[in-house]
Chain A
Amino acid sequence: MSHSTLNAPGTEEAAAADGRMATPLAKKDPRAQLRKHKTLVYTLRIALLVAVLAFWEISVNLWFDPFFYSKPSLIWDKLVTWFTDGTAQGSIWEQIAVTLQEAVYGFVIGSVAGVVLGILLGRARLLSEVLAPFIQAANAVPRIVLSAIFIIWFGLGMESKIATATVLVFFPVFFNAFQGAREVDRNLVNNARILGASRFQVLRSIVVPSATSWILASLHTAFGFALIGAIVGEFAGSTKGVGLLISTGLAAFDSAAIYAGMVISTVLALIAELVLGYVERRLLKWRPPSQSETVAV
């Protein structure tokens, strides 16, 4: 979503490279051209979405059984019912609020822990060498399965979901922060030391900002993981939440409900992505535009 704006300068360059800028059209205001280009991209996106939904709807109508595959119109009906009449578990907004809260808590706890530990270990060579195999082992544990253990430990409430989300978020953020802290340009550190920076000042003024772009890149995927953690946790056992809607749908063989739950979680993830993209652009405004494109993968 947010990538469109970041990609824009690059696409303009691409246009220049293939010679289109040489035509008289290029004399126009470049901003107008950029706007036109953006409109085109959005139009094509909507067209693609409509085409896929239409194909799904029509092919289910013609060839497949909607009981198994559902179809966009049924999913839409389900969503409308949820939002107007509520769900079997109560108001849809309450379910969304619960899931979102679990995801946000997990995201915050997991990413703070990941950033702090990642940066510290990234700068403490001996400690990181000692701990490396243990961290690798911890990373290899199938984390989704932990959600079952967390339910035993923390019960059916929000805590167990927050724990699952935290664990899912922690590792990608930790590894990125670790890498970011390691890859700090030695020249920058040496220069700062010569200019008079203490160890702590180097950490705060050089290491943390250098690692920021690495960390922000991981936070994009991390919120997605937090949502997955919350929903999987709810799926494994809960009394509220979007994951419970999906698992009730599964129990009732109501495939439209499963898809509708997926749609809701997707929308939540996209909104979070927009917010994070905004934060990232604010924090990285010092960067030349060509570089910010590469992060936005």
Chain B
Amino acid sequence: MTPPLVELSHATKRFLKADGGTHTAVSDISMTVGEGEFVAVVGPTGCGKSTTLSLVSGLEPPSEGTVDVAGSPVRGIPDGVGYMFQADAMLPWRNVIANVAAGPIWRGVSKSEAHDRAQDWITRVGLGGFEKSYMHQLSGGMRKRVALAQTLVNEPRILLMDEPFSALDVQTRALMQNELLDLWSGTGTAVIFVTHDLEEAIALADRVVVMTASPARIKDDFRINLPRPRNVEELRLTPEFIETYSKVWQSLSSEVETARKQGAARVA
């Protein structure tokens, strides 16, 4: 049996706090993601979702437990990982095409080849005509497209996405969700998609993992048996979707409530 593409086992991550104590961001997390699987991770704000992604990406080592990618433990950044950050991370002094071509060039592809690939992806994410624009000249949605193209041009086997669409308006978000599904389908890429938005999670994913309030543990792991190909706007209105939604929401809502109380306690 081949090992799963991503496997976290009993992974814990602690951070040093400013007052010298430690803060446990994620605690004893075990989960696997298989090839071509689309896993959405939901949980209350500040619980440790981004931290989980940084463990998989190799940017942060786990304090305890292990993280394996493609069967070998993560040391440094594993091959084939793409990561779309929660915040914008494109280079503001480079235009769109130079930003998208950066990855292949850093990986040793020739400049003209990298530009060809970048051009192809810019067109595929619908940004044709904006190759020479700088980041500050683009709208929020366009910047997310640049980030998407920048990540996908490396053809990752594992795609980590941290609330990629949360800053977008409802229409643009639905558009981007459909486009993401189009781009992803048939590629065999494993996706770990962090979001606050349960509708988004269910509409996109094969599995929805619910995390507890801080420190994050895995509370539930729901399989979403909705047929593909999906159109997120139409899917939302189907009875199956609504049924799944209420089932997952029951699990999530109590965590959101706990997180709210934690927040209130911290402020008090």
Closest residue to B107 on the A side, CB-wise? A196
Which stretch of A65-73, A78-86, A197-205 is in the interface? A197-205
B154 pairs with A195, CB closer than 8 A:
yes
Closest chain-A Cβ to B102's Cβ sits at a distance in Å of 6
Task: Tell whether A288 is near chain B: CB-to-CB under 8 Å.
Answer: yes
B106 pairs with A197, CB closer than 8 A:
yes
Q: Mark B46-61, 1 if CB is under 8 A from A, else 0.
A: 0000000000010100
B136 pairs with A288, CB closer than 8 A:
yes
Q: Contact check: which of B83, B89, B107, B134 meets A286 at CB < 8 Å?
A: B134
Which stretch of A34-42, A54-62, A138-146, A184-192 is in the interface? A184-192
Q: Chain A at the B interface: mostly helix, strand, loop or mixed?
A: helix
Q: Contact check: which of A187, A196, A205, A288 meets B89 at CB < 8 Å?
A: A187
Contact residues of A between 198 and 216, Cβ < 8 Å to B: 198, 201, 205-206, 209, 212
B94 pairs with A195, CB closer than 8 A:
no
B77 pairs with A193, CB closer than 8 A:
yes
B: number of interface residues (CB 8 Å): 26
Contacts of A284 in B (CB 8 A): 93
Contacts of A188 in B (CB 8 A): 89, 91
Closest chain-B Cβ to A267's Cβ sits at a distance in Å of 33
Given contact pairs A198-B106, A201-B106, A193 touches B59 in the complex (Cβ within 8 A): yes
Task: Tell whether B38 is near chain A: CB-to-CB under 8 Å.
Answer: no
Task: Tell whether B43 is near chain A: CB-to-CB under 8 Å.
Answer: no
Q: Mark B73-107, 1 if CB is under 8 A from A, else 0.
A: 00001000111010111111111000000111011
Task: Tell whether B119 is near chain A: CB-to-CB under 8 Å.
Answer: no
B59 pairs with A190, CB closer than 8 A:
yes
Contacts of B91 in A (CB 8 A): 188, 205-206, 209
Contacts of B87 in A (CB 8 A): 187
Closest chain-A Cβ to B108's Cβ sits at a distance in Å of 8
A194 pairs with B83, CB closer than 8 A:
yes
Closest chain-A Cβ to B75's Cβ sits at a distance in Å of 14
Contacts of A191 in B (CB 8 A): 83, 85, 89-90
Contacts of B94 in A (CB 8 A): 286
A195 pairs with B102, CB closer than 8 A:
yes
- In whole angstroms, how far apart are the Cα atoms of A192 and B92 in the complex? 13
Given contact pairs A209-B91, A209-B93, A194 touches B59 in the complex (Cβ within 8 A): yes
Closest residue to B95 on the A side, CB-wise? A286
Closest residue to B82 on the A side, CB-wise? A194
Given contact pairs A187-B89, A286-B134, A287-B92, A194 touches B106 in the complex (Cβ within 8 A): no
A192 pairs with B102, CB closer than 8 A:
yes
Closest residue to B93 on the A side, CB-wise? A286
Contact residues of A between 158 and 200, Cβ < 8 Å to B: 185, 187-188, 190-198
Q: Looking at A194, A198, A201, which has the most chain B CB atoms within 10 Å of its CB? A: A194
B136 pairs with A205, CB closer than 8 A:
no
Closest chain-A Cβ to B19's Cβ sits at a distance in Å of 21
- In whole angstroms, how far apart are the Cα atoms of A185 and B93 in the complex? 13
B92 pairs with A286, CB closer than 8 A:
yes
Q: Looking at B89, B150, B151, which has the most chain A CB atoms within 10 Å of its CB? A: B89
Contacts of B106 in A (CB 8 A): 192, 195-198, 201, 205
Contacts of A192 in B (CB 8 A): 102, 106
Q: Looking at A188, A195, A201, which has the most chain B CB atoms within 10 Å of its CB? A: A195
Closest chain-A Cβ to B144's Cβ sits at a distance in Å of 14
Q: Contact check: which of B81, B85, B136, B150 meets A287 at CB < 8 Å?
A: B136
- In whole angstroms, how far apart are the Cα atoms of A201 and B106 in the complex? 7
Contacts of B103 in A (CB 8 A): 195-196
Closest chain-A Cβ to B156's Cβ sits at a distance in Å of 9
- In whole angstroms, how far apart are the Cα atoms of A142 and B182 in the complex? 66
- In whole angstroms, how far apart are the Cα atoms of A201 and B81 in the complex? 18
- In whole angstroms, how far apart are the Cα atoms of A193 and B82 in the complex? 10
Q: Looking at B88, B106, B136, which has the most chain A CB atoms within 10 Å of its CB? A: B106
Contacts of B134 in A (CB 8 A): 286
Contacts of B81 in A (CB 8 A): 194
- In whole angstroms, how far apart are the Cα atoms of A227 and B87 in the complex? 44
Contacts of A195 in B (CB 8 A): 102-103, 106-107, 150-151, 154
Contact residues of B between 155 and 171, Cβ < 8 Å to A: none
Contacts of A201 in B (CB 8 A): 106
Contact residues of A between 70 and 97, Cβ < 8 Å to B: none
15 more CB-based (< 8 A) A-B contacts, given A191-B90, A198-B106: A185-B89, A187-B88, A190-B89, A192-B106, A193-B59, A194-B59, A194-B81, A194-B82, A195-B103, A195-B150, A195-B151, A196-B106, A197-B102, A286-B92, A287-B92
Sample (6) of A-B pairs whose CB atoms are under 8 Å apart:
A187-B88, A190-B59, A193-B59, A196-B104, A201-B106, A286-B136
Q: Which residues of A contact B (CB under 8 A)?
A: 185, 187-188, 190-198, 201, 205-206, 209, 212, 284, 286-288
Cβ-closest 9 pairs across A and B: A191-B89, A195-B103, A288-B136, A196-B107, A286-B93, A196-B106, A187-B89, A197-B106, A194-B83
